[in-house]
Chain A
């Protein structure tokens, strides 16, 4: 008999990874140069968490997915038009910065408060999903703090797979060193899963899913509450870019061994 989960995915926007980013200092703290002009995407870690959540909900009828996003709502609105075609979810928006220069604790408090206020959310069925390194400049600190504030003690990070058993327990594969996974079994919800990339392909764009999501997207954006997070108190010191030497070639179907040998030779020659 399938289990019923209430899956909350924490995920917000980041600048398109294809853009070149330049940190700057502003009167309100550190920021990215031309941040509002940059194209944005849903944080790739959160993307995967959302796909996994949608898949889990699909395979466990009665389950439901919420996407809780802390970000500038104008940009969120734009990005949601792409995201909303991928998977059914209900959006919860907190209007605030998503520059990567916010404190994990402050962000976690806002996310936890927003999750707590979701009407109809049953915390006994809660699976808290998110990107394992999201909203923390890669430190992996934010999502665990959200879990702590919600009283979730079963936490898994670097998750690539979840397999739900008939009794409602589930097996979790977490990444560890050496390209291996640690296999754990959790008795059931509530639990926190910080996702790595998972195993699922990106779902196709489905206009009907988009239309269904649209019913909650705009109201969620309109009633977004301002976040109580600031960049003040932080100072941007410096950033050092790796020494770049661009030698571009486009080569198709080159064996991995040859690529590796070429890179090693290049490093040794430097």
Chain B
């Protein structure tokens, strides 16, 4: 790790500020950390447990910086076991949290293909042929039994946006910690192999980062401990992974993009708050769906598109609409109205993607620390728990007056984590999805085996970086659309500036979406009606293409096709162009880039940096 890791700008009077603990990102992990820490920083007699080194005479100064414009702009409607959250708030009444409901009903259904356009293997088609005898009028088979490892009973349905607003109020109300939104963190400050704080992003710059007359260099926040909870695509987590590498045999090859709507359910809908529906099998076998019902006739619903779905045109939005129109889902939501929309990247390697959790001056928590359980499909509970564990460790070190060295953090935080249920369950899960590398049926069997045997049995498979397994468009559509026709469609789309995936899906037999202006709306309208994206001026673009010559020769351009906000488009010279005003910061472009850079680093040629703005909805 070197000081060069933080990009240098034309520096004039870069300011610096000292605190004791600085946190990067305010998601569930940091919320768990601050919730626990804020209760421990003061002794029962009102005296602080330790004196601030940064501000002598004061209690420890703890600050969190969040990229989004508010603490409640996170994207995820979740169902969570909420074990760690309930432990943090004993006697928690879900009614205190807007849009929260106890899980009441759970169903899992296999969706058959009612339109005949889904790309299904021979094995699946054969199975479908049998299952169709039992499909009923809704083209779905409801599982008679939900495996215990998938069940979320006793859990909570939450809107992460509303939950984070609620938690933010709790922790800030304590007066012992501060959470500052609208402040992206550019990177970690590294000196002599120690993380000594963070650097905030520059302001008053052009899209390309060039200083303007209003240039204000990003401030350095120096801290004894930097807590990194910036999620799966956070800039600081990426930086540390680059500079430290991952532990032996660890990798982050598996990803997914989750895209969702929050909707007002129609009056006719009879689903009760706390209803949890999960689906698999449609619109493509690799795509999973969910519908969670909140109080007040509101629902979160959406799909997950995994990196092992080998379509180079794996757009989530069009697939989401086809999923919504499936008869098993549509019967509940027809006549509903879109309230909010968003998308988010998920790190799907789970514990096998765990980075170095600590080092001198830093600790990592949350999804970016490999806490997500990829077998149970649970991430919030685990992320929160890692934050709580770190808070316990930090409290212990503060009380003992010990520095935040690698050794001390390993003996406190890492030791707690290794002894935790997060780690134990993560080990069971870490290879549970390997079978999906070979196909959906193998993957489902593998998950079942792993779940029912505590991870002792599983289907084999070797995860690969997405760009190494992504086929060409021609290969993906072989047998369905000829290479000549694809070339013609590609040329037409380029000329018109329209997305290729829409034309290819039309050609592959997917019916047109019957737009109604309320629930089924165009992608652009979803951006306006549901996403409400903001991009404050004075910040640099956070999606950049530093190897334009390679981009110009790329004929897949998956980055364009998958972009959740249609913020990446074909550029005039073949190099994609980025429009920050549409970006919802889902990060899908980062792992969907199809070309590797020539420096042997294994990285692709698209960079996803720290940036400001994004969604302006607190309901996601």
Determine if B15 is an interface residue (Cβ-Cβ < 8 Å): yes
List chain A residues, Cβ under 8 A from B182. 82, 85, 205
Determine if A238 is an interface residue (Cβ-Cβ < 8 Å): no
List chain A residues, Cβ under 8 A from B65. 207
The CA of A250 and the CA of B296, in the complex, are separated in Å by 34
Determine if A208 is an interface residue (Cβ-Cβ < 8 Å): yes
Write the chain B residue with the least CB distance to A16. Answer: B616
- Residues 166 to 222 of chain A near chain B (Cβ within 8 Å): 201-202, 204-208, 210-211, 214, 218, 222
Q: Do A208 and B169 touch (CB < 8 A)?
A: no
Q: Which of B33-41, B69-77, B421-429, B488-496 contacts A (4 or more CB under 8 A)?
A: B69-77
Pick from B72, B180, B221 the residue with the most CB of A within 10 Å.
Answer: B180
Determine if A59 is an interface residue (Cβ-Cβ < 8 Å): no
Determine if A260 is an interface residue (Cβ-Cβ < 8 Å): no
List chain A residues, Cβ under 8 A from B98. 34, 36-37
Q: Do B517 and A246 touch (CB < 8 A)?
A: yes
Q: A38-B618, A77-B173 are in contact. Are A207 and B221 (CB under 8 A)?
A: yes
The CA of A211 and the CA of B22, in the complex, are separated in Å by 13
The CA of A39 and the CA of B339, in the complex, are separated in Å by 13
Q: Do A81 and B181 touch (CB < 8 A)?
A: yes
The CA of A250 and the CA of B566, in the complex, are separated in Å by 11
List chain B residues, Cβ under 8 A from A16. 532, 616
B504-537 interface code vs A (CB 8 A; 1 in, 0 out) = 0000000000000100001011001100101011
Q: Do B522 and A248 touch (CB < 8 A)?
A: yes
Shortest C-beta distance, A212 to chain B (Å), equals 11
The CA of A18 and the CA of B15, in the complex, are separated in Å by 34
Q: Do B162 and A37 touch (CB < 8 A)?
A: yes
List chain B residues, Cβ under 8 A from A39. 70, 72-73, 616-618
Determine if B347 is an interface residue (Cβ-Cβ < 8 Å): no
Shortest C-beta distance, A134 to chain B (Å), equals 21
Shortest C-beta distance, A41 to chain B (Å), equals 8
List chain A residues, Cβ under 8 A from B619. 37
Determine if B99 is an interface residue (Cβ-Cβ < 8 Å): yes
Write the chain A residue with the least CB distance to B581. Answer: A250
- From the candidates A37, A202, A207, name the one contacting B536 in the complex (CB within 8 A): A202
List chain B residues, Cβ under 8 A from A18. 532, 534, 616-617
List chain A residues, Cβ under 8 A from B17. 207-208, 211
The CA of A270 and the CA of B204, in the complex, are separated in Å by 43
- From the candidates A78, A85, A249, name the one contacting B183 in the complex (CB within 8 A): A85
List chain B residues, Cβ under 8 A from A246. 517, 525
The CA of A207 and the CA of B14, in the complex, are separated in Å by 12
Q: Do A78 and B15 touch (CB < 8 A)?
A: no
Determine if B214 is an interface residue (Cβ-Cβ < 8 Å): yes
The CA of A57 and the CA of B618, in the complex, are separated in Å by 34
Write the chain A residue with the least CB distance to B55. Answer: A211
Residue contacts A-B, CB under 8 angstroms, 23 given: A16-B532, A16-B616, A19-B532, A20-B529, A37-B98, A39-B72, A39-B616, A39-B618, A74-B169, A77-B172, A78-B169, A79-B70, A81-B71, A81-B179, A204-B216, A205-B183, A207-B180, A211-B63, A214-B178, A218-B172, A218-B175, A248-B525, A250-B582
* Chain A positions near chain B (C-beta within 8 angstroms): 16, 18-20, 34, 36-39, 74, 77-79, 81-82, 85, 201-202, 204-208, 210-211, 214, 218, 222, 246, 248-250
**Smallest CB-CB A-B distances: 5 pairs:** A18-B532, A204-B203, A39-B618, A204-B216, A37-B98
11 new A-B contacts at CB < 8 Å, known A79-B70, A85-B180, A85-B182: A18-B532, A19-B532, A78-B71, A78-B72, A81-B178, A82-B182, A201-B537, A205-B183, A207-B180, A208-B17, A248-B524
